[in-house]
Structure 1
Amino acid sequence: MLPQEIIARKRDGKELSKDEITAFVEGLSKGGFTEGQVAAFAMAVFLNGMGRDEAVALTLAMRDSGHVLDWTDLPGPVTDKHSTGGVGDNVSLMLAPIVAACGAYVPMISGRGLGHTGGTLDKMDSIPGYSSQPDEALFRKIVRETGCAIIGPTADLAPADKRFYAIRDITATVESVPLITASILSKKLAAGLGSLVLDVKSGNGAFMASPERARALAENLVEVANGAGLHTTALVTDMNAPLASAAGNALEVANAVRFLTMRSTEPRLKEVTLALAGEMLMSSGVAATLQEATMLAVNALGSGAAADRFARMVAALGGPIDFLEKMEMHLPAAKTVRPVLAQDEGYISHIDTRALGVAVVELGGGRRRAEDKVDHSVGITRIAMPGLKVEAGQALAFVHARDEFDAEMAANAVRAAINIAAERPSLPETVSERIAPRH
């Protein structure tokens, strides 16, 4: 099947057959399509979209471009969550052990930071000794014995997506909803899940800033995932402010440990974490109702069972055996910590969340280029959230930097990103919508 014929049909707005899509993915993964042809196909899809059947066929073909995991030997349900990305979004670190403590298995294959958003894998890599790329045998052993493992994707897991995404990234086609859908779901389907819950972010710190675009993405993801045979639901959650009060790899790990050990409770973070945990436990069949699922999650957190699962996972993957008790000793710390002081009194009315994420990247906590090395110690903590009343001279946040120059630059960026007004703002719902499959 000629590549140019497949491209021409999609260019002209025609629906591609399953065979045409399979041929494209085979050419993508085996090199039969040139980079220019892949780029042309991506732009044709970006401009003309894809129907449900096309998106399902693309997702399944990309899944089948590599190895597909099989967890049928486990004695319980296998489930996972995917977030579309945000700032201070460390939910996965708490969610996997909470759900595992309730009886489900969570083989969480995560990614690195993308743009202004942090990556779960970069967070876990800030733990000394932690192996985020174990072989499959060790991965399976830890999931079976601990109930959860947070690792990175292997080279043979949906390899077609790796090449396709790299080309989309440099051809202004990343935002295509069907291509985002196939990229996310092909890897989750290859992970061998029985159910999936999606956390689709909406707001100024999300890739989908408007509620309408976030809802459209959530609906498309749920429809295509279920069409491909994976039971999936989605929650649309707010990203008009960082989710945790910390942004930066080691800083978010420390925040997650304080959450798991009940040393710190942040209302928005807790609401999203428990909502996703409840959804996962209900979707996977561990609980019959959302009320029962949420109670299981609350008990797992309050009893210390979730914290224990996290500690066991870290140790099993090569991290310190006393990480929970002595995390401050083990995590890297920045040389310079500086408060960012409010210049006026009033209420935190608005946060440019994307700008905070960019500030973390500029500090060295993210990547400008794929080959950049990440400084796990830098970032921002104790971020004042919308609705909080502050006095002039009060700390709006603390910047963790490599030196005084970086600290000064970041402090200016943080101060500019946090708006103070005389009136208390009205705050958006943290979890605004649940998207379920149509019957």
Structure 2
Amino acid sequence: MAIFNRDSEDEVARGARAVVVHAETHGGDRRDSDARLDEARGLALAIGIDVRAAQSFRVRDRKPATLFGSGQVDQIATLVNQEEAELVIVDNALTPVQQSNLEKGTGAKVIDRTGLILEIFGERAATNEGRLQVELAHLDYQAGRLVRSWTHLERQRGGFGFLGGPGETQIEADRRMIRDRMAKIRRELDQVTKTRGLHRARRQRAPWPVIALVGYTNAGKSTLFNRLTGAEVMAEDLLFATLDPTMRQIVLPGLDKAILSDTVGFVSDLPTQLIAAFRATLEEVLSADIIVHVRDIAHPDTEAQRDDVLDVLSELGVAGEGALERGDGEADPPPIIEAWNKLDLLDAESAAQAREIAARHDDVVIISALTGEGVEGLQRAISSRLTRGARVHSLRLPISDGAALAWLHEHGEVLATRPSEAEMQVDVRLSDSGLARFLKRDR
């Protein structure tokens, strides 16, 4: 693994010694400082970086040149020397100028939070679509940083043929190459998106509801996915263990079949490049019949993590919880159930308090995906929400269409059948979404 492999001598390999620093601005972060540093350390460990030290610095005003104050830059440089670090990870977003000046001030390679997250995604993406999305985000990020320490690109070159007119600098040529590559990737992703849309349309015609798991990274989505499906999706105590969406068939109370989808985890300050690049993947959430928001209820920043997830969902068109209930907009967004996970990590008093709070909300279920406690209750809650609003519909079917009648018995409550010579009238209790799936099913 190489971080921003600009030149061979500039590579940082797995196991590189690093220090993590964070600029804590007054009133600028909702999170606990120690928890924030722990998350940054976890991000680094996720790609095999050897974190020797982590320290937070209070910054009154962000310095345009270095982010940190001059004395704090000296402290970071001292920390680098003490730990013999090769890399400084700044758990904030840096401008190209700040990144360059910090490298000069600390004598070590510097990457920011955005760059680190991009590296994790680059290493974890397993599918062709995932790799294309990450490369697009990475190129978008790099394009704004070509000027930074790429001094070898500033030399001019003569024109040749019809490319790169006379006097075009190497940096201009590289920018053009990046733009061309990004355009090519976008065309490929457009094709992938069309294919995904066809698959989505086919699933919508199928008689099974789709449940999407979302949540902050490391909240336990994949563990819950494995618990519900019996699958063996990678589920480790590791940030961004899952990148590419996975789908499996499950059985729910009162529903013979449903499709469960495990999606990429969210994180605070998720790079805008990644949100844009992964939009096609994340839009799978919008096509779901219901969203299960898995929360790490034992984490000190659980409320801030919840807000981060809802912010990303809002960008995708799933507005906040109030809009979910009202169904604002042209189409109703899918409803959300919160699964408060990691009950096994709470002490008795905290667990009792969490249960008391959850009891006051219809769409909150407390679980431990690891031990299985509460998972049956979550299954019942999902099933109940999927069948909520069921009404009695009177349908006319060809007398020979036994498959349709069997479908209605399997997915609804058949109240009466009145056959005649050519057709039969069936009174069945179905939700509106169930009726829509019945009408769209493959015949």
TM-score between the two structures when normalised by the length of structure 1:
0.28
User: Which structure has more strand as a fraction of its residues?
Assistant: 2
Between the two structures, name the one with larger relative contact order (CA 8 Å, sep ≥ 6): 1
Query: In terms of Rg, which structure is larger?
Result: 2
